[in-house]
Amino acid sequence: MDLFYRSTRNSSEAVTASQAILKGLANDGGLYVPETVPRLEKSLEELAGMTYQETAYEVMKLFFTDFTEAELKECIAKAYDSKFDTEVIAPLVEADGTYYLELFHGATIAFKDMALSILPHLLTTSARKNHVNNEIVILTATSGDTGKAALAGFADVKGTRIIVFYPKNGVSPIQEKQMVTQKGDNTFVVGITGNFDDAQTGVKQLFGDRELAAVMDKAGFQFSSANSINIGRLVPQVVYYVYACAQLLKEGKIERGEQINVVVPTGNFGNILAAYFAKQMGIPIAKFICASNENKVLCEFFETGVYDRNREFVLTSSPSMDILISSNLERLIYLSAGADAEKNAAFMRDLSETGRYAITDDMRAQMKDFYGNYASEQETANTIKALYEKTGYVIDTHTAVAACVCGKYQKETGDYTKVVLASTASPFKFTRSVMNAIDAKYDAMTDFALVDELSRLANIAVPRAIEEIRTAPVLHDTVCDKEEMRDVVLKFLGI
Ligand SMILES: *Cc1c(COP(=O)(O)O)cnc(C)c1O
């Protein structure tokens, strides 16, 4: 039976999985949600015997019901291959009593790779299934991480091109080097003389430009987005929670039927929502511990039931979580309102008009398995140092926010249920912050000297993603004003 998807803001439209993947966002601005979350067909014991790729198929076939077995298996095989530096794809590492689920073994050493390595294949397959003959052009504005992960995912994927705009003076030197050295004839990286908001606004204007869409269509192109609200990114993230739980059972770390808690360093709320879906599929998860940095909108939301983005935006050492509007939260709001699109749309209107909304007690009761807290910058650094000194294991700043919040939760509640903690980035991605947390003396060293020092200290080899950019030639040097973005796109497409 086919599973359909509905918009969180309008209940009348139902689309197939491939249509939802192609569209990304619904016409009414809502997010696509499956009509029901399917139950796993295999027991945890059976799943425990499966590889990551086999687990991925078990999960995805239930969500993407209009894909054939051959189509899905091909997407999975192309995504989870030797781009990952470990065959298990998402290893679990035990340190100080917590299971760190390492989601950073892909091409750009951060967890975005888990979904962005398969999204291009889901998209091109969806295009084929819906008789879209145009080439798909991915447009992305990035503040650093997503851009590189999307470039790596789409590079040399037939039937696609990708254009990434980044603020020329607003990303770290390593992030910029990662992007401008990107290979692949279908990739194009452009620096904007402006900030991230300028890049983001410019991209939104291009998406909304009907005249441009017509010109592109005539030349055989259409835009699409690799944004984190696409269900083609959300569903692949459910897989690793299923896989992690099955591995714990296999290794005898949990017993049959035993529940676990998950802790997730959260920004846009996609990763933790995937864990929530995993529970609804039948994975025994008790609590969802939502960890924020000093941009603690979500932490306060789970404490009070009020979402309020009216506050100062804080730049932290965990930049991928510096977010005041967590777009994927909308799906939880919708579901806890009893899949009531009208109610949800009213909250979202409040959010865009006043920057805040307050949910009902009933809805709060639906979210009782969620717990929110945050870590300050100092607490985050202390957590990295303490874990390293106790165990020798080095974690990145985002993961450290989660580890700190995990400790706060356990102390506050006395709940010491076994924990799977989503480890979202390699420490090599945020080397300077990580090394400074361990010892202030490192601040004087250059970026690459720090990389070597971290490798020695943590006793792990420098990841390929970092090794490559030491020597890689710059392949992209286009810089433009935000007014020129449209022309730059047309030129790249040869129109
Ligand atoms: C994107 C990102 C996050 C936040 O994940 P969401 O799904 O947006 O909540 C956390 N850590 C890292 C390293 C990331 O890149």
Residue 145 Cβ contacting ligand 1 at under 6 Å: yes
The CA 271 to ligand 1 mean position distance, Å, reads 7
Active site residues: 112
pLDDT tens for 346-390 read 999 999 999 999 999 999 999 999 999 999 999 999 999 999 999
Query: Using CA positions, which residue lies closest to atom 1 of ligand 1?
Result: 320
- Every domain of the chain and the residues it spans: 92-108+232-460
Segment 147-169, tens digit of pLDDT: 999 999 999 999 999 999 999 98
Q: What percentage of residues in the chain have a pLDDT greater than 90?
A: 86
pLDDT of residue 263: 98
Atom of ligand 1 nearest to the CA of 270: 7
Residue 16: the pLDDT is 97
Ligand 1 centroid–CA 492 distance in Å is 30
pLDDT-derived band of residue 234, with 50, 70 and 90 as boundaries? very high
Tell me the CA distances in angstroms from 66 to 3, 15, 80, 439, one per residue in order: 8, 11, 21, 53
Predicted structure pTM score: 0.95
Instruction: Answer whether 398 contacts ligand 1 (Cβ < 6 A).
Output: yes
Q: Is the CB of 147 under 6 A from ligand 1?
A: no
265 in contact with ligand 1, CB cutoff 6 A? yes
Q: Match domain 92-108+232-460 to its CATH number in 3.60.15.10, 3.10.200.10, 3.40.50.1100, 3.30.420.40.
A: 3.40.50.1100
**Confidence band for 208, pLDDT divided at 50, 70 and 90:** confident
Q: What is the pLDDT of residue 25?
A: 87
* Whether residue 109 has its Cβ less than 6 Å from ligand 1: no
Ligand 1, atom 4, lies closest to the CA of 267
pLDDT recorded at residue 351: 94
User: Does the CB atom of residue 270 touch ligand 1 within 6 A?
Assistant: yes
In the reported structure, the alpha carbon of residue 11 is separated from the centroid of ligand 1 by a whole-number distance in angstroms of: 29
Q: Which atom of ligand 1 is nearest to the CA of 269?
A: 9
**What pLDDT is recorded for position 135?**
95
Percent of the chain with pLDDT over 70: 100
Mean pLDDT of 185-202: 90
Mean pLDDT of 257-270: 96
Q: What is the pLDDT of residues 402-441, one digit of tens each?
A: 999 999 999 999 999 999 999 999 999 999 999 999 999 9
Tokens of 215: 């010109």
